[in-house]
Amino acid sequence: MRNPVVAAIQMESGPDLAANLARARALVVAAAARGARLVVLPEVFAWRGGGDAEPDVASSIPGPVSEFLCSLAAEVGVTLVGGSFLERSDVPGRSFNTSILVDPDGSIRAIYRKLHLFDVDLPGRVTVRESDVRVPGREVVTAATALGTVGLSICYDLRFPELFRRLALAGATIVTIPSAFTAYTGAAHWEPLLRARAIENQVFVIAPNQTGTSPHGFRDYGHSMIVDPWGTVLARAGDGEALVTAALDLDLLARVRREMPCLRHARLLS
């Protein structure tokens, strides 16, 4: 498949699960209508609300959110990365932050649980302790698709380059980074980190972000992006709900890896 079109969906998710799923569905249908073959939703696309409500909202796999994603992918015939949603764990009061990749026939191809938890205190700006309510994943996950091998990650993972090198060495040519990046850190680091991960691992990066105000009271950054292996930003959203698409030049990917064979030259491997 040459030059497949992909889409990143930017949402302002809130505490109404049904409303969030309805908006996600409308945006995925719109992306498919634009020719997208791979569509990526943002982190916590299905629900964002107060911590007290999380145990009631977290779902199993299979469960309401995963079944919604499987049905939607089959309906519109796309490969769908379900951003992330809260998946029940065996630890009381804590859930996984989980991303699933669904094939166009509606079957789950891969399940990734966020490895790196966002425990950050920037006084007066951002204070979050994700580990209080989340269980970290344990596995690096890639999935073979008709568009290429997709490496899965979520938000804060972006700051850990060793994960993306492992995804590339596992064969990833596309990396998805569904996020809820804050406005404060996003203004400083979002684009530089996305472009760096694309350049150093010679992959396409699809990074849909949340927008609006988070349940913690701070602003999300928006500015969802699609970046090519040379670090060129192919598509960029602004603020507010958005859908951006781009065609992935697979000949460019092959040329970059052939002419600048960094992955073959790497000597310090974890």
Residues marked active site are found at 43, 114, 155
Asked if 215 and 48 touch (Cβ cutoff 8 Å), the reply is yes
The half-sphere exposure of 226 on its side-chain side, counting CA atoms within 13 A, is 23
Count of residues in the chain: 270
Using DSSP's 3-state secondary structure scheme, residue 156 falls into: helix
Which stretches of 95-203 are assigned E, i.e. beta strand?
Answer: 95-102, 108-113, 119-122, 126-129, 142-145, 148-152, 174-176
Identify the helix (H) or strand (E) that includes residue 18: helix 17-33
The answer to whether 177 and 194 have CB atoms below 8 angstroms apart is: yes
Do residues 97 and 120 make contact, with C-beta atoms less than 8 angstroms apart? Answer: no
What Cα–Cα distance (Å) separates residue 104 from each residue in 26, 70, 76, 81, 137? 17, 8, 8, 11, 26
